[in-house]
Amino acid sequence: MSLGDKLDAFAAQKTNQLAEKVIADATLQGQAAGIEQQQAGGALELKEEKFIGGVSAKAFNTAAREGYIKSLDNDVMESFTNLAAENSQDLQSYNTGAEALAKGFMSGVDPASRPAVELSIDSMISRQRPKIQAAQAQAIVDQGNQDQAINTAERGRLAEAAAFDGDAESALLDSTVAIDSINNRSDLSDVQKSEQIRDVNLKLRESFSAGELSRTYDAEGSQAALDQLTELSGERPQGFTPDEWDSFISKEQTKINRKVAREKQDIKFNAEAAQRDLSISRGLMLTADGARPANPAGSSQDRKDINNYYDSVSEQWQQLPVEQQIQANVDIVKSTGLVPSTLSSSISAVMRSGNAEQAGLMADIVSRIQEQTPASINDLTAESRAMSLQISDALRAGMDIETATAAAHKATFGITQSEKDVIAINTQEVSKNLPSSLQTFADSDLDEGGFDRGIFYNVPDVPPMMAAVIAVHLVVLWI
């Protein structure tokens, strides 16, 4: 080879290498541009293929179309996959959505790329459609099986109810429909169908027997039903295992026992209600003018009757004005000479609570009882009597209800034995320096009324120590 030939060959090689590099660069640039343009949602922009530099432009355009189509193909796959998921059992909706998606994708595709994009879309639609058709068909089958299961349960329930009522014709008809529904199900094996049919038949037989026992109980009583159950226990029907029949007998035994227990409870409740009504009526009679109990202290039955009557009417008094409520409570004590135990408990609870407003109302009731029927005051606790009358005395002296209640509560419930002992000692020391007239007063016998005990005057059974403590307080305050 001559030198000239070698130079020509070298020049051709370099030219080819340069051309290959230009094509490779243009290809990379075209692919990137095509993908970028598609993802941006724009139309594909291509370079003009001129005679000079046409190789580069052609390479760019070819790669751009490929990149554009590949990127578009990914979008097509994602969109149609999502559409199929959203309409997995609705072929009609999928077809409608697919048509709209296809139009949307094709609207921005350049003419040269349309065949490839159409192929991609058609392929994706065809790939998803059979899956949706199969899923839709299976959904129809599943719904049918579910409907058959519901029908079995409902018809079985109706058959059991008819059997319990002794309606054999209706029971047989409904149980036959229930069994047909079991046989129509495609999701059950033959073994499963046999088990469910057996269950329908056993429940039907149990319902017949249970209904007979119930009717026997209603017509002849519990003992006749128990005797009939004993006979049934030894006559196991065909189709039942021993354990199954024993379980049924045990269940019916429990039902009978519960019926007997409920009847006893009803009888007891009705008897107690009748006794309570009679007691209320007697209590009403005892509240009539001149009908107070012969025994001033009242018998236990008198007290029970009066309290039952009080409980039956006192709730209605809550609708009355406060003054009328107070007077109604006082009147029932005045007419019977007894304080209903419910009223006594309410007074005690209020006094212990220290609620000033309520304590004032209760103190008013106690004060009126003390004035009108002094002997009845013994039905209250010593603390209730003491605190109520302390509050009444304090209010008459002009003290406000909050202060009066607080002081009375402290004096009645708040002084410990050690505090009482200290007061007694201090009082002995103070009394040494009293004038002779007061000395005689202080030395007088508290239990015999040497002090003017005020609220304790004519109050029976007030604890002596409590009276002494209050009296000493009065002396100290006086000094």
373 φ/ψ angles, rounded to the nearest 5 degrees:
-135, 75
Buried b (16+ CB within 10 A) or exposed e, 324-352: ebbbbbbebbbbbbbbbeebbebbbebbb
Per-residue pLDDT band for 416 (boundaries 50, 70, 90) equals low
- Better-scored residue on pLDDT, 42 or 339: 339
Report CA-CA distances (Å) from 377 to 124, 309, 383, 390, 462: 99, 20, 12, 14, 11
Per-residue pLDDT band for 146 (boundaries 50, 70, 90) equals very high
Q: Cα 253–256–257 angle (5° rounding)?
A: 85
What percent of the chain has a predicted confidence (pLDDT) above 70? 68
What integer pLDDT is reported at residue 56 of this predicted model? 62
What integer pLDDT is reported at residue 422 of this predicted model? 65
**Gap between the Cα atoms of 219 and 56, Å rounded:** 107
Amino acid letter for position 173: L
Report CA-CA distances (Å) from 76 to 83, 103, 181, 232: 10, 12, 45, 73
Nearest to 466 by CA among 434, 428, 438, 424: 424
What integer pLDDT is reported at residue 11 of this predicted model? 54
Per-residue pLDDT band for 469 (boundaries 50, 70, 90) equals very low
Q: Cα 98–101–105 angle (5° rounding)?
A: 135
What integer pLDDT is reported at residue 21 of this predicted model? 52
What is the residue extent of each domain of the chain? 13-138, 149-256, 319-411, 415-479
Count CB atoms within 10 A of the CB of residue 473: 15
Per-residue pLDDT band for 435 (boundaries 50, 70, 90) equals very low
**Gap between the Cα atoms of 128 and 138, Å rounded:** 16
What integer pLDDT is reported at residue 170 of this predicted model? 94
What integer pLDDT is reported at residue 460 of this predicted model? 41
pTM (2 decimals)? 0.47
Instruction: Examine the pLDDT at 446 and tell me if it is beyond 70.
Output: no
What integer pLDDT is reported at residue 292 of this predicted model? 59
What integer pLDDT is reported at residue 47 of this predicted model? 55
**Gap between the Cα atoms of 266 and 260, Å rounded:** 10
Contacts of 365-373 with CB under 8 Å at 24 or more apart are 365/326, 365/329, 365/330, 366/392, 367/392, 368/326, 368/330, 369/330, 369/333, 369/334, 369/339, 370/458, 370/459, 372/330, 372/333, 372/334, 373/333, 373/334, 373/337
Instruction: Examine the pLDDT at 91 and tell me if it is beyond 90.
Output: no
**pLDDT tens-place string over residues 261-314:** 998 999 999 998 898 889 888 888 888 755 555 555 567 888 888 889 988 888
Mean pLDDT, the chain, whole residue set: 78
What integer pLDDT is reported at residue 476 of this predicted model? 38
Report CA-CA distances (Å) from 209 to 156, 236, 260, 261, 262: 16, 11, 19, 22, 22
What integer pLDDT is reported at residue 259 of this predicted model? 92
**What's the sign of the alpha-carbon dihedral 325, 331, 336, 337?**
positive
- Structure tokens given for 115: 């065949």
What integer pLDDT is reported at residue 26 of this predicted model? 53
Burial tier of 394 (Cβ tally within 10 Å: 0-12, 13-18, 19+): buried
Instruction: Examine the pLDDT at 148 and tell me if it is beyond 80.
Output: yes
Per-residue pLDDT band for 151 (boundaries 50, 70, 90) equals very high
Residue range 307-327: mean pLDDT, rounded:
89
Instruction: Examine the pLDDT at 98 and tell me if it is beyond 90.
Output: no
**pLDDT tens-place string over residues 129-143:** 888 888 888 888 999
What integer pLDDT is reported at residue 219 of this predicted model? 92
Instruction: Examine the pLDDT at 349 and tell me if it is beyond 80.
Output: yes
What integer pLDDT is reported at residue 215 of this predicted model? 94
Report CA-CA distances (Å) from 283 to 118, 272, 329, 372, 377: 100, 16, 14, 20, 20
432 φ/ψ angles, rounded to the nearest 5 degrees:
-65, -30
**Gap between the Cα atoms of 97 and 103, Å rounded:** 10
Question: If you average pLDDT over each of 40-54, 176-190, 413-427, which comes out highest?
Answer: 176-190
**Gap between the Cα atoms of 419 and 407, Å rounded:** 15
Per-residue pLDDT band for 442 (boundaries 50, 70, 90) equals very low
- Better-scored residue on pLDDT, 445 or 78: 78
Among 10-19, 354-363, 367-376, 449-458, which is the least confidently predicted range?
A: 449-458
Buried b (16+ CB within 10 A) or exposed e, 310-322: bbbebeeeeeeee
Structure-derived torsion over alpha carbons of residues 33, 34, 36, 41, reported in degrees to the nearest 10: 140
**pLDDT tens-place string over residues 74-88:** 777 778 888 888 888
- Rg of the chain on CA atoms, in Å: 52
Instruction: Examine the pLDDT at 46 and tell me if it is beyond 50.
Output: yes
**pLDDT tens-place string over residues 222-256:** 999 999 999 999 889 889 999 999 999 999 999 99
